[in-house]
Amino acid sequence: MNIAIQNWRQKEKMYLLRIICMIVGLVMLGCGAAPGGDSLDGANSDLGLPVSGAAAKVQQGWTTFKDGGFSTSKELFNQVIGSGDATNLELADAYAGMGWAEVKLNGSNSGIPSFRNALSKNAKQEDALVGLAGALVSKGDRTSIDEAVSLLEGLGDGGGTFTYFDEYNVGVSNAEAHALLAYGYFVQGNRSKADQQIAIARDLDSQFSGTPVDQIDDILSFIP
């Protein structure tokens, strides 16, 4: 009987972990926005106008991304990457933008190569850190989640203290980034750090009720 109960609890826990992975996947797509579409067709991106320097083109790419022109922003970021005169920091920003455009168009896993390229140019590129971490968490395996924890810790002092500002509307808030880290710690078996991070996320999430942070908090609270 005890073995049967133990097996049932294990199955229940695995089921709940799958649910939370689905929630994390929704967070990575901008709180539930389905991939595969642009809000713009590029008409507002001024692609035909001359742009001065890689930095200006990176900014134009992010502005277009923020307006919902994901395909057009990819073109702009790709121009920076292929320009041959961009600095490592500019390349990192362009690769990060490329990764997020791919996430919005095709789902979180599609952005992984670009996020890795961004971090190879600048290990502190925050949009790439959050994007890659979220994509790895959504994969659900322990190795990926361990890497995601290290990435999210890299946003701050290494101990989980950080502030992530979603400047370009990638769809992950500071609260959600902390909730992702809470989930990562939970999977690693570090319940005290998981509780600490979800408490931070809860305090940061002004809406809370019904949000991804709320759902992650509920599930972590439910699992003993």
Within 29-108, residue ranges assigned H as helices are: 53-66, 70-81, 88-106
Chain segment 148-175, per-residue pLDDT in tens: 999 999 998 877 889 999 999 998 989 9
User: What ranges do the domains of the chain cover?
Assistant: 2-222
Flag whether pLDDT at 99 surpasses 90. yes
Check residue 53 and give its pLDDT. 87
- Place 139 in a pLDDT band, splitting at 50, 70 and 90: confident
Percent of the chain with pLDDT over 70: 69
In angstroms, the CA 119 to CA 164 distance is 16
Query: How many residues comprise the chain?
Result: 224
Tell me the whole-structure pTM to 2 decimals. 0.80
Say how many CA atoms lie within 13 Å of 160 toward its Cβ. 21
Residues 6+ apart with CB under 8 A from 117: 91, 95
How sure is the predictor about 205, in pLDDT bands with cuts at 50, 70 and 90?
confident
Q: What is the pLDDT of residue 98?
A: 97
Closest of 134, 128, 169 to residue 28, by C-alpha: 134
pLDDT tens string 35-52: 556 755 444 444 554 556
Second-level CATH architecture of 2-222: Alpha Horseshoe (1.25)
Q: What is the rounded average pLDDT of the residues 102-130?
A: 95
Between residues 56 and 33, the one the model is more confident about = 56
| C-alpha–C-alpha distance, residues 139 and 107, integer Å | 12
Q: Of 16-30, 35-49, 90-104, 144-158, which has the strongest mean pLDDT?
A: 90-104
What is the distance between the terminal CA atoms of the chain, rounded to a whole angstrom? 20
Report the run of H or E that residue 152 belongs to, with start and end.
helix 142-153
Q: Give the mean model confidence (pLDDT) for residues 120-136.
A: 96
CA–CA separation, 180 and 145 (whole Å)? 10
112-121 vs 126-139: helix axis angle to the nearest 10?
Answer: 140
CB 170 within 8 A of CB 130: yes
